[in-house]
C-alpha cells in the first residue's frame, strides 16, 4: 500500500481504489457478503461478480442489495463526526487524509467500527425514507443539502434523556465515540436497523425544528427588507460550513423546551 501511494503521482488511481485493499475494507466486504449484500469498495468490481447472489429478496426496488463505501463514509461523517456540510464536497472528504483514518479506523476493534459504520448508514436510509414520506409537508425537505444535516442531528436521539451534556456538536462528537452500533443492528437480518417508531418520531421532530428555523429566517428577511426569501437563499445557507453549528444550537434549545 505504501508503494502504491508513493507511486500514485505517476499512475493516477483514485484514493478510494488505493484503500480498497485495506484490512477494514475487506472486513466490511466479508461481513456484508455473508448476508448477501455487495460492498462496492473498488471501481469495476461490481461488473465482475455473480449478481444473483446479491438479488434483493424483498422485491425489485432496488434489484440488488449493494452498499457503496463512499455512501457508508458520508453517513459516518454526518452521524458520528458531525460533519454534514462541507464546501469542499462531502464525497471528497471520505478518503481524504483528514477523515479517512477516522471513518475507516483500523486502530480500534474492527467489529466495533463496522457496526458504527452500519448504524450511521442505516440511520441515513431511515432519514431518506421519512424525508420522502413528508416531502410535500415541509419546505425544508425540498432541499438536496438537508439529508445529511438531519442524519447528523438524529444522533442526538441516543442521548435524548441527557441533553444538558451535549450543548454543542463538538461535545456530541466526543460522546458519540462511545456509541456502539451492535445493540441497534440486527446482525441476522442483513444488518438492518433495530429501531422503530420512537426513532421515526424523533426524526420528524428534527425536521419540524429545522423548518421552524427556516421559517424564522424567511420572516426576518421579510420584516427587515420587505422582500421574500428565495429558494436559492436556502441553498446558500445550507452550503455554508458554519450553518450546522447554528442549526445544532437552535435544535438543542428547542428539544429542551
Nearest to 69 by CA among 15, 144, 132: 15
For residue 199, the 8-state DSSP code is H
Q: How far apart are CA 244 and CA 149, in angstroms?
A: 7
Check residue 124 and give its pLDDT: 98
Check residue 47 and give its pLDDT: 95
For residue 83, the 8-state DSSP code is -
Q: How far apart are CA 93 and CA 103, in angstroms?
A: 10
Q: How far apart, in Å, are the Cα atoms of 81 and each of 48, 85, 115? A: 34, 11, 15
10-residue stretch averages of pLDDT, the chain, 257 residues long: 48 80 96 97 94 92 95 97 91 94 94 97 97 95 94 97 92 96 96 96 97 96 94 92 94 92
- Three-class SS state of 67: strand
Strand partners, 185: 193
Q: Residue 233 is placed in which grid cell?
A: 437563499
Q: Residue 223 is placed in which grid cell?
A: 420584516
Q: How far apart are CA 257 and CA 252, in angstroms?
A: 9
Check residue 10 and give its pLDDT: 42
Radius of gyration of the chain (CA): 20
Dihedral sign computed on CA atoms, order 132, 138, 139, 141? negative
Asked if 82 and 120 touch (Cβ cutoff 8 Å), the reply is: no
Asked if 40 and 30 touch (Cβ cutoff 8 Å), the reply is: no
Amino acid at each position: 500500500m505504501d508503494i502504491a501511494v508513493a507511486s500514485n503521482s505517476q499512475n493516477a488511481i483514485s484514493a478510494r481504489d488505493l484503500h480498497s485493499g485495506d484490512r477494514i475494507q475487506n472486513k466490511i466486504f466479508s461481513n456484508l457478503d455473508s448476508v448477501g449484500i455487495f460492498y462496492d469498495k473498488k471501481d469495476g468490481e461490481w461488473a465482475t461478480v455473480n449478481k444473483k447472489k446479491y438479488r434483493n429478496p424483498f422485491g425489485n426496488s432496488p434489484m440488488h442489495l449493494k452498499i457503496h463505501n463512499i455512501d457508508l463514509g458520508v453517513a459516518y461523517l454526518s452521524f458520528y463526526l458531525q460533519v454534514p456540510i462541507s464546501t469542499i464536497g462531502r464525497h471528497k472528504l471520505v478518503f481524504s487524509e483528514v477523515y479517512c483514518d477516522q471513518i475507516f479506523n483500523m486502530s480500534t476493534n474492527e467489529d466495533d467500527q463496522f457496526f458504527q459504520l452500519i448504524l450511521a448508514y442505516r440511520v441515513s436510509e431511515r432519514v431518506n425514507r421519512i424525508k420522502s414520506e413528508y416531502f410535500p409537508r415541509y419546505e425544508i425537505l425540498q432541499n438536496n443539502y438537508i439529508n445529511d444535516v438531519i442524519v447528523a442531528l438524529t444522533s442526538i436521539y441516543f442521548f435524548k434523556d441527557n441533553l444538558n451534556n451535549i450543548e454543542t456538536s463538538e461535545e456530541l462528537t466526543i460522546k458519540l465515540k462511545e456509541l456502539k452500533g451492535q445493540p441497534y443492528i440486527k446482525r441476522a437480518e442483513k444488518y438492518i436497523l433495530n429501531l422503530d417508531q420512537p426513532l421515526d418520531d424523533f426524526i420528524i421532530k428534527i425536521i419540524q425544528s429545522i423548518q421552524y428555523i427556516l421559517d424564522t429566517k424567511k420572516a426576518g428577511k421579510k420584516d427587515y427588507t420587505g422582500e421574500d426569501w428565495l429558494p436559492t437563499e436556502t441553498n446558500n445557507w445550507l452550503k455554508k460550513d458554519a450553518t450546522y453549528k447554528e442549526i445544532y444550537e437552535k435544535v438543542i434549545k428547542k428539544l429542551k423546551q
